[in-house]
Structure 1
Amino acid sequence: MKLPSSLVNFGDFCKRNHQQLVAGLITFSLSLGVVVLRDKGAFKQVELWSYDTLMRSQLNEPSDRRVVIVEIAEADIQRFRWPFSDRLFAKLINQISAAKPAAIGIDKYLDIPVMEGRDELVAAVKNAGNVVNAKFLATVEGRSGVEPASDLEKISRYGYVNLPLDKGAVVRRSSIVADTGSFAFEVTQLYLQKLHNKQLVFNPETIQFTAGKQIIPRMSANYGAYRKEDDSGYQMMIRYRGKPRGIQHIRASDVIDGKISPEQFRDRAVLIGVTAESLKDSFPTPVTVDEEVMYGVEIHANIVSQLISATLDDRQFVQVWSNDLENLWIVIWVIIGGGMATFIPNAFKNVGLLTALAIGLTAGSYFAFAQAALWLPIFPSLLGLVAANVLVMAYQLAIQQSERKVLMGLFSRHVSKELVDIIWSNREKFMEEGRITGQEVYVTVLFTDMRNFSTAAEAQAPGETLNWLNNYLGTIANEVLAHGGMVDKYIGDAVMAVFGVPIPHSNETERTRDAQSAVEAALAIAHKLAEMNDVWVAQGLPPVTTGIGINSGTVIAGSLGSAERLEYSVLGDAVNIAARLESFNKEVDGGPHHILISEDTHQRLNNNFQTEFVGKYALKGKTQETGIYRVLDVQRNPSQPSPKVSSETL
């Protein structure tokens, strides 16, 4: 049954482009694999590590003077003991309140009375009128919550201080609103309302909060590198402003002792919290390294600063693309990596461009984070780019090694190393399915045959004969290769060589050079064998006479044999004529060097050689007569270089 032409054309297309199609399949499979692995959370920790690196690289902003921390340090605990009494907290609040701050946040649970002075504490909170106290929401892990104190609940605001923790207890995100507002959220609302008559606004239709002109990006279960994360509440990524102690700290004892000027607190958001190591209210964050930590009150202060800055200064929140857009971004980089390896076969160029693109991708991701707080998926993109490039390059290398093995098997014994390299660089011109496709080419064929092999062999032992014959054949082969020819085959003590293959020569200049190279090679062989005869005669061996026949014409060149045993050779009438000319040396005088050439070859010598016309003869098996010439010697100007095969002419 005849197949439809569309299927035939498609099949031909696949054969012509099978390497590109396989490279495309590798790239597609890898892109799918990277996307699926990322969706499964395989890269989460590496991506979060890269996020931390991005965050640390951007800590070049000045300290936010609108926020100040009153720290209860280790020295304060040693002086006043812990927990502070209600009276001591009352005095601390009164001192701060007298300076007229915009908001006072107390990052310490005041749910139960501590020693004396509870009435004084209630009075201080009430007189201040802008206090936000801390509470703790009950968590699914079973930890009980800390509810607001009944005597303070009606005269102050409350916000929960729970912080979502990533693996390793790292604080990268914050829940700003759940059933109620968070501690930082309530402090921010007080500050904005009192000084700027603004608020963080909730839109019930879109279920989004806005800070000034910006929508606060809400984290979902699959947000950036996060996968199947607990996204309860309204969570956002914390954009830290600086390293630990990047926000101004004032000692609590200095405030209690009245050593602080009121201007230090006026119109500022003041957060009171512990920075004593013994109280263990500290966490690793993206901006801390090694054993460094940031205290809870500092984290809340950074969140307050982030919300205020976004509302008043349009400082951007950390944001990501949608999952679909991130996946597309990753796939694009995988395609780029695979495409480079497919269409840039030069390994050095490919590696150079790959390095440049990897650096560009990394630098671009840093730039996006620095300019727009945009968190791009660096690691999956880099992995896809490099892995696709390496895998496709490995596939192509395997194919090249296979093809090179085929080519070397066909040619390494028959042509010079320089020509092998040229063949390899032009392999796509004539390689198909592991064999050389047959093609019609114009060549010059050279045949040699020893006249008195039997006589010479009789004078030697079998082992000596083999070495002697190899020496003889090697001499002929070396001269053929040196003059740009290809040793087609050895037939006993005969040699067949071809000039003009396997890279076809299409113009007349190249074809003429092939003919002249063949004649030069024949003369070189004759001279070399004459020198060797002197040595053999001295060894008691008979001299060797070698007949040479040369013809130029059109042949069919290609692979012959089974897939397991291929040979490259040429077939055609031009080959037969060269063989008959070599044999014809036995019937006519081939001159001092026993070299006979055809009329076709003679026409391409351009008077560069001394020749004599022998006559026209009908060679064995031929009906038409062939003009035959004997070659006497070279007539070339000694200063003129011998023709050589060059990649520039192929």
Structure 2
Amino acid sequence: MKFPATLVNFGAFCKRNHQQLVAGLITFSLSLGLIGLRQIGSFKEAELWVYDSLMRSQLHEPTDRRIVIVEISEADIQRFRWPFSDRLFAKLINQISSAKPAAIGIDKYLDIPVLEGRDELVAAVKNAGNVINAQFVATVEGRKGVDAAPDLEKISKYGFVNFLTDKGAIVRRASVVGDSGSFAFEISNLYLQNLYHRQLEFNPNTIQFKAGKQIIPRLTANYGAYRKEDDGGYQMLIRYRGHPRSFEHIRAADVIDGLVAPERLRERIVLIGVTAESLKDSYPTPVTTDGEVMYGVEIHANIISQLIGATLDDRRFIQVWSNDLESIWIVVWAIVGGAMAALITHAVKNMGLLAIISGGLFGFSYFAFSQALWLPLFPSLLGLISANVLVMAYQLAIQQSERKVLMGLFSRHVSKELVDIIWANREQFMQEGRITGQEVYVTVLFTDMRNFSTAAEAQAPGETLNWLNNYLGAIANEVLAHGGMVDKYIGDAVMAVFGVPIPHGNETERTRDAQCAVDAALAIAHKLAAMNDVWTAQGLPPVSTGIGINSGIVIAGSLGSSERLEYSVLGDTVNIAARLESFNKEVDGGPHHILISEETYKRLDNNFQTEFVGKYALKGKTQETGIYRVLDIQKRTNQRSPTNFANK
């Protein structure tokens, strides 16, 4: 059965880009998880904490001089006793009214007569003509409300003073209108009508309230971080103007005693409320910290300031995007985090860029909040960082797997410095856990012991193995020290290659590989001479080693099955190097038994003492090969070291 070409092409595409596709799948799955968790309210408390932090960080507005609070403090209660009598309240209202304020709001229930002076209180409210009284609407079944007093209801307006609280009794939002207007709504309207002949408008078609040019954004059940919230009435987020006591406060006793100049109250909104700690009319808010609270009258002042500020100054209400747009915003940041990890595999660079982008996201969200736009910072930041970390973890797992393959292929055959170079350049030649075959120019070195049998006969079998390992180890160490790769051991023979696995494309690198190979050959010869002295002293026969070196093009890559892979090189260049090593038995290879091809000789740049042996047709070859013997190094200062090699 033949698959359609499109399926074959798609499969090939997936195979080529499987890491990117997995990174995309991780990011996509994470995005869905974040959106799902946010929809069920898992991030609500964290997002509201961020909201509070942003609110506290941006309290830079000047005091709203249109509002003044006449506070009933602890000192006033100590002096006049609580509750204030109706006569005392009448005197307070008369003193305020005489200063001609635009509106008077009384944040105290006056439904029950207190001591004497009820008639005086009614008269004071009537004479003022601009009083808004407080009432409490029962919102929980079984809880009793506080209705308007019948004698005051006929001569003044009422507004409910209920506060909406979140977990921890924090007041972040306000109900502007329910079945009737709120305390803040009624006072704001009275002030706007008396001084500016304006009011907060209601559009019955869109069911929206308007303050000046702005529509008051209505808080719904799923609004910003809120999920399945009770959205009864017309709710909005409170944009606090400042910390507690940011509005002007005047003591009630000073007003009663006539110590307050009328100019301090004229054409202003005067709120009468309790700031005595013992009366417990206080709440935590986004702008209070460390057990600090804000009194109810101050919260009303902030709501009033928000409504009249929007109408007269176009001060913005706090708004949010639609749920769909917020979800897209969160997904975009998750994609940014995942893509960044997929494209920047260097962990330190990735973490540095992640820190910069996270700072940018925070900075943008901070700026947006200063413009009264509340963005979903917490889930966006969580998506950015989580996607980046997860994709990076996946990349690291893949890298560890690839590094394991590379280490399995090279760790026993090349120096540690070259292993690090190979790993840094792995993408140049490694695909799917296998090094793809490629043509490279290399220098191949073969060594073979001449009298192994004679030496082995003089030793016990176990001693022979140790002795052979010492011999092979000495050769391998010199190859690695000069930047070569030990390709394989063939009994007592060694095949080494210079110029792999990172291809050396320019002539300078190829020349250096050839000279490193000859350097290594001489170092092997000198090392074995020293080892022969030791073996002779131990009663063992000395050994000699033939070395053949050739330079040219080979095919380099992984050989074997997926279970057992080896990296090696193949080609005629390898065969000639092996033949040169064997040719030491037929011609004089010099004092060190090192024969090199003419191709290698051309790259020595007169750095070595050599002699031309002649041109010969090596075994299995029809063409003649120019052969040279290496006598010694010409210039000791040019000898390369492993450190110099690693730094090239």
TM-score (norm 2): 0.96
Q: Is the 8 A contact 1:513 1:643 kept in 2?
A: no
Aligned counterparts of 2:605 and 2:75: Cα–Cα separation in 1: 106
Quote the residue 1:628 is aligned against: 627
Quote the residue 2:14 is aligned against: 14
Quote the residue 1:610 is aligned against: 609
Q: CA deviation at 1:262?
A: 1.4
Aligned counterparts of 1:142 and 1:171: Cα–Cα separation in 2: 23
Quote the residue 2:308 is aligned against: 308
Aligned counterparts of 1:537 and 1:142: Cα–Cα separation in 2: 109
Quote the residue 1:471 is aligned against: 470
Q: CA deviation at 1:545?
A: 0.6
Q: CA deviation at 1:589?
A: 2.1
Quote the residue 2:106 is aligned against: 106
Q: Is the 8 A contact 1:288 1:294 kept in 2?
A: yes
Confirm or deny that 1:430 pairs with 2:429.
yes
Quote the residue 1:491 is aligned against: 490
Report matched runs for 1:428-467 at 5 Å: 428-467=427-466
Report matched runs for 1:9-88 at 5 Å: 9-88=9-88
Confirm or deny that 1:480 pairs with 2:479.
yes
Confirm or deny that 1:394 pairs with 2:393.
yes
Q: CA deviation at 1:606?
A: 4.1
Aligned counterparts of 2:142 and 2:491: Cα–Cα separation in 1: 94
Quote the residue 2:640 is aligned against: 642
Q: Is the 8 A contact 1:51 1:375 kept in 2?
A: yes
Spell out, residue by residue over 1:196-234, the C-alpha distance to the aligned partner (whole angstroms, 9 max, x if none): 111111112222111112211111111111111111111
Aligned counterparts of 2:305 and 2:359: Cα–Cα separation in 1: 33
Quote the residue 1:245 is aligned against: 245
Quote the residue 2:208 is aligned against: 208
Q: CA deviation at 1:621?
A: 3.5
SS at structure 2 position matched to 1:497:
strand
Q: CA deviation at 1:112?
A: 2.3
Q: Which moved more, 1:613-622 or 1:78-87?
A: 613-622
Spell out, residue by residue over 1:484-506, the C-alpha distance to the aligned partner (whole angstroms, 9 max, x if none): 21100112211111112111223
Q: CA deviation at 1:339?
A: 1.5
Spell out, residue by residue over 1:516-574, the C-alpha distance to the aligned partner (whole angstroms, 9 max, x if none): 32222212211221122122222222111111122223322211222222111122232
Q: Which amino acid aligns with 1:409?
A: G
Change (3 A) 1:647 1:231: farther
Aligned counterparts of 1:639 and 1:524: Cα–Cα separation in 2: 15
Aligned counterparts of 1:582 and 1:500: Cα–Cα separation in 2: 20
Q: CA deviation at 1:647?
A: 7.2
Quote the residue 2:261 is aligned against: 261
SS at structure 1 position matched to 2:550:
strand
Quote the residue 2:123 is aligned against: 123
SS at structure 2 position matched to 1:549:
strand
Aligned counterparts of 2:386 and 2:141: Cα–Cα separation in 1: 41
Aligned counterparts of 1:648 and 1:465: Cα–Cα separation in 2: 38
Report matched runs for 1:207-606 at 5 Å: 207-370=207-370, 372-606=371-605
Q: CA deviation at 1:84?
A: 1.9
SS at structure 2 position matched to 1:498:
strand
Q: Is the 8 A contact 1:60 1:242 kept in 2?
A: yes
Q: CA deviation at 1:141?
A: 4.4
Q: CA deviation at 1:620?
A: 3.3
Q: Is the 8 A contact 2:607 2:638 kept in 1?
A: no
Aligned counterparts of 1:559 and 1:87: Cα–Cα separation in 2: 102
Aligned counterparts of 1:623 and 1:10: Cα–Cα separation in 2: 49
Q: Is the 8 A contact 1:66 1:268 kept in 2?
A: yes
Q: Which moved more, 1:553-562 or 1:332-341?
A: 553-562
Change (3 A) 1:606 1:80: closer
Spell out, residue by residue over 1:233-259, the C-alpha distance to the aligned partner (whole angstroms, 9 max, x if none): 111111111111111122222222222
Quote the residue 1:4 is aligned against: 4
Q: Is the 8 A contact 1:450 1:546 kept in 2?
A: yes
Spell out, residue by residue over 1:362-405, the C-alpha distance to the aligned partner (whole angstroms, 9 max, x if none): 222222222x1211111111111111111111111111111111
Q: Which moved more, 1:614-623 or 1:393-402?
A: 614-623
Q: Which amino acid aligns with 2:516?
A: S
CA RMSD of aligned residues (A): 1.9
Q: CA deviation at 1:13?
A: 2.2
Quote the residue 2:134 is aligned against: 134
Q: Percent identity?
A: 81
Aligned counterparts of 1:49 and 1:642: Cα–Cα separation in 2: 63
Spell out, residue by residue over 1:29-63, the C-alpha distance to the aligned partner (whole angstroms, 9 max, x if none): 11221122111111111111111111111122222
Aligned counterparts of 2:68 and 2:132: Cα–Cα separation in 1: 15
SS at structure 2 position matched to 1:176:
strand
SS at structure 2 position matched to 1:506:
coil
Aligned counterparts of 1:97 and 1:144: Cα–Cα separation in 2: 32
Aligned counterparts of 1:511 and 1:3: Cα–Cα separation in 2: 46
Aligned counterparts of 2:138 and 2:249: Cα–Cα separation in 1: 30
Spell out, residue by residue over 1:137-190, the C-alpha distance to the aligned partner (whole angstroms, 9 max, x if none): 121343122221111112110100111110111000100111111001001111
Q: Which amino acid aligns with 2:20?
A: Q
Extract unaligned runs of 5+ from structure 1: none
Spell out, residue by residue over 1:616-639, the C-alpha distance to the aligned partner (whole angstroms, 9 max, x if none): 44433444444433222233x444
Confirm or deny that 1:190 pairs with 2:177.
no
Spell out, residue by residue over 1:380-439, the C-alpha distance to the aligned partner (whole angstroms, 9 max, x if none): 111111111111111111111111111011011111122111111111121111111122
Q: Which moved more, 1:163-172 or 1:255-264?
A: 255-264
Aligned counterparts of 2:231 and 2:134: Cα–Cα separation in 1: 22
Structure 1 stretches (4+) deviating beyond 6 angstroms? Answer: none
Q: Which moved more, 1:329-338 or 1:1-10?
A: 1-10
SS at structure 1 position matched to 2:439:
strand
Q: Which moved more, 1:622-631 or 1:516-525?
A: 622-631
Spell out, residue by residue over 1:104-132, the C-alpha distance to the aligned partner (whole angstroms, 9 max, x if none): 11111112222222211111111111011
Change (3 A) 1:451 1:641: closer
Q: Which amino acid aligns with 1:426?
A: N
Aligned counterparts of 1:583 and 1:487: Cα–Cα separation in 2: 19
SS at structure 1 position matched to 2:471:
helix
Q: Which amino acid aligns with 1:517?
A: C
Q: CA deviation at 1:467?
A: 2.7
Q: Which amino acid aligns with 1:310?
A: A
SS at structure 2 position matched to 1:496:
strand
Aligned counterparts of 1:485 and 1:647: Cα–Cα separation in 2: 11
Aligned counterparts of 1:58 and 1:619: Cα–Cα separation in 2: 87
Q: Is the 8 A contact 2:94 2:124 kept in 1?
A: yes
SS at structure 2 position matched to 1:172:
strand
Q: How many residues align?
A: 647
Q: Is the 8 A contact 2:109 2:146 kept in 1?
A: yes
Aligned counterparts of 1:414 and 1:523: Cα–Cα separation in 2: 20
